[in-house]
Amino acid sequence: MKKLSEEHKRKISEALKGKPQKNPRRNFHLSEETKKKVSEARKGISTWNKGLHLSQEHKRKIGISNKGRKLTKEHKRLISINSKNQIHSKERDKAHSERMKGVNNPRHGKPVSQETRDKISKAHKGKIVTSIARKNMRIARINSIKNKYGNIYPNYNLMACEYFRKFDELFNTKGQYHRSYIKFKYL
């Protein structure tokens, strides 16, 4: 086949702009049975682009072409639904957590300005926190302390007690903790 010059390609592109494409497979849908057959036939075969990486120039061009792109509300809704339905394994989450710690975190060493802190604070003010959410926050914090300090009983951990005292003041809850396990009793 004869190679086309860049000028020739540009002229063809200009001539086709705005014209409907005559694609014989447009609005063509496969039956469920056919989809299953294709799926079975493709099992174990790698895709053509597996292992290929985009050049920096290509990535830059993609970025430029996507600048200013507006998504419809329907498109945003579908993206939201799809991202909410993702289920990750515990191993994947743990590996991701380890990968993002310390200097690998994109926010590592970048202080948050007072202006940003104020914006975050303003965004959270007036939010109604349900009792279930409070319970979940408390459990998450207990697990965090347990992982960080290796203390299975954060109720006797001084740092944990201080945190939960503040937590209870903020959310008007009454937790069970004490600085000394001897004085600890169920409230």
Q: What is the pLDDT of residues 58-90, one digit of tens each?
A: 999 999 999 988 999 999 999 998 888 788 888
pTM of the model: 0.31
Whether 155 is covered by a domain: the verdict is: yes
Q: Output the DSSP codes for 109-137.
A: T-PPPHHHHHHHHHHHTTPPPPHHHHHHH
Task: Tell me the per-residue pLDDT of 105-153, one tens digit each, with 9 for 90 and over.
Answer: 998 889 999 999 999 999 989 888 888 888 888 888 877 777 776 655 5
Number of domains the chain is built from: 1
Inside any domain, residue 25: no
Kindly state whether residue 140 falls inside one of the protein's structural domains.
Answer: yes
Is residue 90 one of the residues assigned to a domain?
no
Domain that holds residue 176: 129-187
Distance CA 2, CA 103 (A): 53
What is the number of other CB atoms lying within 10 angstroms of the CB of residue 134?
17
30 lies in some domain: no
Residue 154 counted as domain residue: yes
> Does 50 map to a domain?
no
**Is 99 part of a structural domain of the chain?**
no
